[in-house]
Amino acid sequence: MTKNRFKLTCMWLIFLGVLAGCSARGNDKQISKSSVQVQKKVDSPSQAQALIETEALYYQGLTDDDKQVYRELQNAIQNFQAQIDTQAQHLTQEKFSKVAEAVLLDHPEYFWYSGKIETWVQSADSAAIAQYEISFDFTAAEVADLNQQIELKISDFVAKNAGKTEYDKALAAYQYVIEQNDYNHAAATAGKADATDDRSYSMLGALLDGTAVCEGYADALQYLLARLAMTAHVVVGVANDQNHAWNLVKIDGENYYLDATWGDASFTKEDKRANIDYTYFGMTTAELEMDHKIANDFINLPIYKATAANYFVHNNLRFDSYDSEEISKVTQHFLRDNQSNICFQFSTLKAYHKAKKALFDAQGMMTIFADLADEFPKLSGKKVITSLDEVHLVMTFILE
């Protein structure tokens, strides 16, 4: 799907020789804090699968009869059993479709199963399904080889991040999926049934090919977090009147929404910069629903209100009011960390408008950069791309 939210983007060029002269103001402010580290990971794909199985969200939303069909279908997928004489009674096409999709959503690791199933009814006079046949995208041997490729690709990531806090694990996975991929516009436009590259619709695209659509991003993020012993789910719905997929992730006991697809600048066709948008990391239900709508076909999710793992809250980048000195301090820390994206959020529209007037309309951000010229001479000659998100009240200044 295509993102089309209100977002104003502008480009400036920094000429620090003209504006420079003032030194950096104020004391340093700590942007992020480290929590107690926990050495926790799962050591194999089978252990990741076991964790996903335990936490299966859509399975929990099924009736007992439908859960029986779910387990039957799951066993067939795991064992590459294509044709099944179902043991379920009175299984209608509608119920079976729901179960088949539940398995697909719960299990990103079943990348050889894409939901292609043909069914047969018991008789001409009955709508109950008697038999179904699964079309697998890969053979068992091919799946074994692909799993080895995935393991080889992500093993360093898993080892590097296993000892981090849950917040840092989630952030690392979000960044990894975005940095490793470009959004596959051609596959998204063609649709799953007609796409020449079906791998973009699974974690294969995101973990091996470097290109995926939203399903691939979400599946990969869920799988990576399972490998880091964290609970995550794929959530489906609509954004900008088009089908979309993102994640629900449990961080330190609270649930948050993450949308790695919308966090990737390559998702916007006209914007090819290497850029991560943190607006979509750690959202509450209210924040998500500003531009996403959850499909309630399977389960009604609770309202999630926790904010501690929101990117801007966690890093002290959400402000109740506009203060130029605070923005200067924040900018210094981004620059000292060699980060090219300087972003922050405001809690009210009034504060956001005041900041926009000062930093963008009056080019106050350029003055801040000029004030920091002596400490950061590498700023000279840099272009500044400004992204203004009035929906989520986020401002981003990208140095190029």
In this predicted model, what pLDDT tens digit does every residue of 26-67 receive, in sequence order? Answer: 333 233 322 333 345 555 566 666 666 678 999 999 999 999
Residues 311/282, Cβ–Cβ less than 8 Å: yes
pLDDT tens digits, one per residue of 179-197 = 999 999 899 888 776 656 6
Residues 61/299, Cβ–Cβ less than 8 Å: yes
Q: What is the pLDDT of residue 294?
A: 95
Q: 162 phi and psi, to 5 degrees?
A: -60, -35
Q: What is the pLDDT of residue 18?
A: 30
Q: What is the pLDDT of residue 88?
A: 87
Q: Which residue has the tokens 């194999």?
A: 44
Listed by start position, the domains of the chain span 1-32+317-400, 34-43+147-314, 63-137
pLDDT tens digits, one per residue of 315-327 = 999 999 999 999 9
Segment 79-85 shows an average pLDDT of: 95
Query: For residues 13 and 382, what is the distance between their CA atoms, to the nearest angstrom?
Result: 6
Taking 60 as the threshold, does the pLDDT of residue 269 lie above it? Answer: no
Q: Is 312 helix (H, G, I), strand (E, B) or coil?
A: helix
Q: What is the pLDDT of residue 87?
A: 87
Mean pLDDT score of the chain? 86
pLDDT tens digits, one per residue of 335-357 = 999 998 899 999 999 999 999 99
pLDDT tens digits, one per residue of 95-111 = 999 999 999 999 999 99
Overall CATH class of domain 34-43+147-314: alpha beta
Give the range among 73-77, 119-123, 221-225, 242-246 with minimum mean pLDDT: 119-123
Predicted model pTM: 0.86
Q: Which residue has the tokens 């995935």?
A: 150
DSSP string, 227-250: HTT--EEEEEEEETTEEEEEEEEE
